[in-house]
Structure formats: structure tokens, C-alpha cells
Amino acid sequence: MSLHSAVWRVHCSAVDDIALIESALAWLAGDGVELTREKNKSYHGAPQLILEASITKKRDARDAFVRLGKQTLEELLHNGISSHIDENKILHLRIDIDDLVQGRVRMARGVERKMAAKGRFKIESYPGEKPETVIVNLIEECLES
């Protein structure tokens, strides 16, 4: 068991370095990624750009998950995975954008969660399987290799 797909999304303002963030997002998502840009307005009316990296192949989604790195995967195991999984079997993660543009992957905490790369991984689990168990097994498999 593994992952069906993955999506990384970043909301950028007019003052952000879009090219730098887009490059970091493409690196995080890896091969097989489809990058899209959507111009929009924020809640308060300011212009914003939503960058999205969609990964539709299972193998590429797993590779993107592995790209989180040993430290982040160990942190997920240590802090508990259940709070990151919703009722639709989607694993939600937030990666600190400041570290990401420097080539490092670190979970966003506190106020960092506002400006973060938001990841959604669709878990491949079937009736009788717990999504948490599938992800824990995947993390352990990734850490061993």
C-alpha cells in the first residue's frame, strides 16, 4: 500500500519571489509534477497567486513523500500521524516555506503555518485497513531504504 496522489499548494502575495517559490515547489514535488498558477484575491482583496504542484501517479506521489526527508518523516512518527489524517484518508502536511526555498524540508509550526507549502497526500487504503497504519508502514519503509 502507498499513496494514490499528492498535491502541494502555496498561496503567494505580490511581494513574494514567485520564481523562487515555484522552483522550490517543483523540487519538493519531484518528477511527474504538473505546476499550475491561479491568480486570485485574498480574503481582504489583495492580489495573490496560488501555485499548485499536482502529482497523479502513485510512484511519483511516493517519491514526493520520500523527498520530505528522514528528519521530517521521523518527526511525523514521533509526534503521531493521526492528527494529520482526515476522514477522506488524506494526509495533510505543512512545510515551512522559508526553509523550503533554501532547499531544506521542515514541518511548519506556530505562526510559520500561515505561510507554508500545504501538502495533501491521498492514502491508498482499503476496507479493514487503517490509513494511519498504511502511512506508518510507508514511513518505516522509507526510513529503512
Summarised one tens digit per residue, pLDDT across range 2-27 is: 899 999 999 999 899 999 999 999 99
Multiple choice CATH, 3-144, 3.40.630.30, 3.30.420.40, 3.30.1440.10, 3.30.565.10: 3.30.1440.10
* Type and span of the H or E element at 132: helix 131-144
Burial of 120 (0-12, 13-18, 19+ CB in 10 A): middle
pLDDT band at 116 (very low <50, low <70, confident <90, very high): very high
> Who has greater pLDDT, 89 or 114?
89
For residue 59, what pLDDT is reported?
Answer: 93
* Type and span of the H or E element at 99: helix 97-100
Find where cell 510559520 sits.
112
CB 107 within 8 A of CB 73: no
For residue 145, what pLDDT is reported?
Answer: 77
Opening angle at CA 72, ends 115 and 128, nearest 5: 105
For residues 124-133, give the mean pLDDT: 91
SS3 (DSSP) at 32: coil
For residue 100, what pLDDT is reported?
Answer: 95
SS3 (DSSP) at 42: coil
